[in-house]
Amino acid sequence: MVKKLIKGNIALCEGALAAGLDAYFGYPITPQNEVPAYMSNKMVSLGKVFVQAESELAAANMVLGACATGKRSMTSSSSPGISLKQEAISYMAGMEIPGVIVNVQRGGPGLGNIAGSQADYFQAVKGGGHGDYRLIVFAPNCAQEMYEITYEAFDIAEKYRNPVMILCDGIIGQMMEPVEFNKEQKSSFSKKDWCLDGCKGREPRSVKSLLMKDGALEQHNLDLQKKYETIKNNEAKAELYHIEDAEIIIVSFGISSRISKNAIKQAREKGIKAGLIRPITLWPFPSEIIKKYAKPGIKFLSVELSLGQMIEDVKLAVNGVSSVDFLGRAGGGIVSDKEVLNKITELKK
């Protein structure tokens, strides 16, 4: 199959289009501007919906509305814009509305800068909005995965009636790589028994998160937790690289997993048995996989473009059986393969 050289952000758009996207709602912010620009052309040409919203708040709430009617809809933004989308994300989680939200992360906190970053891990995985809820969070690490994961994201969101976040970074979004468009075109519409499509021949439906009756909200939360348990059991995904004989195991996602792989190759050339567990889903976190490899004497190393966020989940998974070290950079700084190699060498001593 022919490959096309495109940016990660464009691969993401193509994945969504192949999945049968009905509506895209966006707002300009670097480094995700390719997405609304590309969608403004494609969606309108295909006779589908594109709206440049007045804010990230509005864009996310437009997704909420479109998805409440069973349509496939997404929005994309970068870190400061994702903070604004948290309101709608919490509502969507409570209302059990599927939808896809993309965060092409940049440096923070605040306005930060426009360099790639992974510092929104906590926000994505631990719940950036209010209430007891979970997002399904994917972390693609190349343009091909931007295409494939986005393609699958809509099905998973609808399967569980839960919002899905694609957490990538400015580097994956901007980098050009060959992508194979290997997915079949899907059409969005499948009849759903919960969505709002007019009450013709049935009782009216209401999609909402306000539950004021005594005990109703607690029961709703318990039901959500049950769903989250199912997702935990079914959807945790990780890539394993040189893991079977590894004495030093790096845990890393997104762009930093690519850098870590380079360092592992170099370490292996020097005779150091290093390997990688790359979470593809950040929630559910692949804790069981990590747990399997946590043994006395094995050293874990969390490599992130933050000052230590995912490491908390790595430590919980390892549960004291192995040591867990950290290497990271902040505010748009990039860890080099040499720095990772030095850290591996240091741990080997």
Partner 1 sequence: MNKILSKPEALKDNPLSYCPGCGHGIIHRLIAEAIDELGIRERTIAVAPVGCAVFAYDYFNFDTTEAPHGRPPAVATGIKRTNPDKIVFTYQGDGDLAAIGTAETIHCANRGENITVIFVNNANYGMTGGQMAPTTLIGQVTETTPFGRDPLREGYPVKVSELLANLDGTKYIERVTVFDAPHVIQAKKAIKKAFQNQVEGKGYSFIEVISHCPVDWGKTPLESVKWVEEVFLKTFPLGVIKDTTK
Amino acid at 93: A
Piece of the chain touching partner 1 by CB under 8 A; list 30-38, 63-71, 312-320, 332-340: 63-71
Closest CB to partner 1 among residues 118, 123: 123
Which value, to the nearest 10 degrees, does the dihedral of the CA atoms of residues 144, 48, 89, 12 take? 10
73 binds partner 1 per the rule CB under 8 A? yes
Q: Is residue 284 reached through a cis peptide bond, with omega within 30 degrees of 0 on the bond before it?
A: yes
- The CA distances from residue 139 to 59, 146, 169, 172, 294, in Å, are 22, 9, 9, 10, 22
> By CB under 8 A, which span of 46-54, 241-249, 270-278, 280-288 interacts with partner 1?
46-54
120 residue type, one letter? D
Q: Does residue 201 belong to the site contacting partner 1 (CB under 8 A)?
A: yes
Of 3, 126, 208, 295, the one binding partner 1 (CB under 8 A) is: 208
Q: Which of 58, 149, 243, 282 binds partner 1 (CB under 8 A)?
A: 58
Of 56 and 169, nearer to partner 1 (C-beta) is 56
Count of C-beta atoms within a 10 Å radius of residue 212: 6
| 40 scored as a contact of partner 1 (CB under 8 A) | no
DSSP H/E element including 97: none
In the region spanning residues 79 to 98, those forming contacts with partner 1, defined by CB under 8 A, are 87-88, 91, 95
Spatial distance between the Cα atoms of 87 and 212, rounded to a whole number of angstroms: 20
3-class DSSP state for residue 256?
A: helix
Residue 56 binds partner 1 (CB under 8 A): no
What is residue 320's DSSP assignment? Answer: T
Instruction: Based on the shown chain and the rule CB under 8 A, indicate whether residue 276 belongs to the binding site for partner 1.
Output: no
Q: Which residues contact partner 1 by CB under 8 A?
A: 22-23, 25, 49, 51, 53-55, 57-59, 61-69, 71, 73, 87-88, 91, 95, 196-201, 204-210
